[in-house]
Amino acid sequence: MSSTSINGIIEVVIFFRIFINLLSVRKKTFYLNPLRDGVVSDFEALNRYKWFGHSVLMGKHMLNGQVKEEVFARFGWRPSSALQPYLRFIT
């Protein structure tokens, strides 16, 4: 393999790492929208806010279409072990 093609592969890998990091930042911002926009007053209120998926993840409400296992799978093997990493991610 030539050095040109290796450099091209490295550039693609770097691009995708940056892209994934940007997506993570966007997701983090999304989870905090009601708090950031003043719809709820604090993090405890966000935990209880029934019109947003975060309260489903906290076990406070049910919301059609919200599959908490899919979200928690990004933070741990089981929902019980993924809750703390998820909370660290969004705060």
Q: How confident is the model at residue 18 (pLDDT cuts 50, 70, 90)?
A: low
The per-residue pLDDT for 20 is 62
The per-residue pLDDT for 62 is 84
Non-local (6+) Cβ contacts of 29 within 8 A are 36
Predicted model pTM: 0.58
The per-residue pLDDT for 17 is 66
Quick: pLDDT tens for 25-78. 555 556 677 888 888 999 899 888 888 888 888 888 888 877 778 888 888 877
What is d(CA 76, CA 60) in angstroms, rounded to the nearest whole number? Answer: 20
